[in-house]
Amino acid sequence: MLQLDSHPTGRHFLQIPGPSPVPDRILRAMSLPTIDHRGPEFGALGRQVLGGIRKIFKTQHPVIIYPASGTGAWEAALSNTLSPGDHVLMYETGHFASLWQKMATRLGISTEFLAFDGTDDELPQAPGWRRGVQAELIEARLRKDTGKKIKAVCVVHNETSTGVTSDIASVRRAIDAAGHPALLMVDSISGLASADFRHDEWGVDVTISGSQKGLMLPPGISFNAISPRALEAMKSARLPRAFWAWDEIVEMNKDGYWPYTPNTNLLYGLSEALDMILDEGLDNVFARHQRWAAGVRAAVNAWGLPIQCADPAVYSPVLTGVITPEGVDADAVRRLIHQRFDLSLGTGLGKLKGRMFRMGHLGDSNDLTLVAMVAGVEMGLKLSGVKLAGSGVQASMDYFAGHVAPAALQKAA
């Protein structure tokens, strides 16, 4: 049996931006006995989760569920729609956008990486990692592509490495304004079920997501929501694919089954998560995360530390990135907070290593778990010698006390 000796009492504070804390209700649902994945009970479960998940993506079209992490679903999106040597336009919002671009290159796709064209005094090494996608750059590039060589535009909806969201509807408008036929592929691995997302309305062709963020499940399943245009593109796409191939899965999913052994107990968990999220209502879920994010940002502002996202219009509702002062190793602060207060924070990834940490506000959380997170961070920063302008704990408490949660309002009514 695994021993977690460093966490002797109470619950660990898992405040990384995914995997997120899993509600007990979901853990209990997942503890049901594993059943025959070809038997009659399974078909009912399969049909239920395949139907329910479409409501979360806001799509009328098929959503594939893979027994894989999000990285697998990235590969599935590319390999089902593209051919070797195809040219795609990707946008550098941060570390995950960079990893996706690296994967596309490894698959034999020719990639072009657009990036923010400005500068940033606070973080000169990564100015584009503080902002969302600028749709006008995409439109300008597509207008120049008179031969329609660009087969897809790939963007990340909620960049988990930075705490910045991007306006996906504006990317669709840019593609349409340029009169370009490129497919739109969106990574909403950490955005789905926390931040507003509309697969059909925003004209997304493939949306990629994962279980371990807004859906509040453990890691292990991931998704491709696919438009009719993406299904059409599949027919002529020549990148090799077998396990990831949509055609067989879509066919068998019609009856609630898979061509291979699916992740039965995670699907129990998904069924419970869908009940929880749809009972609360997606709009309430989004408002809840916005409010949590505002309460956490109030703390960062009170400390006088810069928020990674430099554009308030695109603050992430899922996580907040905090830049540490020059000379303060953000990872050393994180380590100290973990050792002393049993609280896990997200590390700075790629170009941001050591310069920032990430505070997650998603999953099975509430106002008080977030105030506790803020308290742990505040103590850790002080112990690390960081001079704080004021009390973040007080600022968070004031925010949460002063802004009644939408669900609490409903209960009172």
Q: How far is the CB of 185 from ligand PLP (least distance, A)?
A: 12
Q: How far is the CB of 106 from ligand PLP (least distance, A)?
A: 15
At residue 120, what is the residue type?
D
Binding to ligand PLP by CB under 6 A, coded x per residue (else -) over 20-59, reads: ----------------------------------------
Residue 189 sits in the site that holds ligand PLP (CB under 6 A): yes
How far is Cα 117 from Cα 58, in angstroms, rounded to an integer?
A: 33
Residue closer to ligand PLP by CB (options 70, 306) is 70
Which residue bears the tokens 């925010």?
Answer: 399
Q: How far is the CB of 318 from ligand PLP (least distance, A)?
A: 9
Residue 190 sits in the site that holds ligand PLP (CB under 6 A): yes
Strands 183-187 and 206-210: parallel
How far is Cα 69 from Cα 217, in angstroms, rounded to an integer?
A: 12
Residue closer to ligand PLP by CB (options 69, 347) is 69
Q: Locate all alpha helices (DSSP H) within 205-263, ordered by sequence.
A: 228-236, 246-253
Residue 210 sits in the site that holds ligand PLP (CB under 6 A): yes
Q: Are 367 and 325 in contact (CB under 8 A)?
A: no
Residue 316 sits in the site that holds ligand PLP (CB under 6 A): no
Sign of torsion over alpha carbons 266, 267, 269, 273: positive
Size of the site for ligand PLP (CB under 6 A): 12
Helix, strand, coil: what percent of the chain each, to 5? Answer: 45, 15, 40
Site for ligand PLP in 48-107 (CB under 6 A): 69-71, 96
Residue 223 sits in the site that holds ligand PLP (CB under 6 A): no
Q: How far is the CB of 24 from ligand PLP (least distance, A)?
A: 23
Count CA atoms within 13 Å of residue 285 on its CB side.
25
Q: Are 269 and 52 in contact (CB under 8 A)?
A: no
Q: Per the structure block, which two tokens stand in for 36?
A: 């025959």
Q: How far is the CB of 413 from ligand PLP (least distance, A)?
A: 36
Residue 221 sits in the site that holds ligand PLP (CB under 6 A): no
Residue closer to ligand PLP by CB (options 59, 222) is 222
CA distances from residue 303 to 87, 208, 279, 321, 328 in whole angstroms, order as listed:
45, 36, 37, 13, 15
Residue 156 sits in the site that holds ligand PLP (CB under 6 A): yes
Residue 18 sits in the site that holds ligand PLP (CB under 6 A): yes
Q: Per the structure block, which two tokens stand in for 248?
A: 């067989």
Residue 160 sits in the site that holds ligand PLP (CB under 6 A): yes
Q: How far is the CB of 71 from ligand PLP (least distance, A)?
A: 3
Q: Are 172 and 184 in contact (CB under 8 A)?
A: yes
How far is Cα 243 from Cα 241, in angstroms, rounded to an integer?
A: 6
Q: Which of 187, 342, 367, 378 binds ligand PLP (CB under 6 A)?
A: 187
Please state, as a whole number, how many other Cβ atoms lie within 10 Å of the Cβ of residue 239. 18
Site for ligand PLP in 346-385 (CB under 6 A): none
Q: Which residues bind ligand PLP (CB under 6 A)?
A: 18, 69-71, 96, 156, 160, 187, 189-190, 210, 219
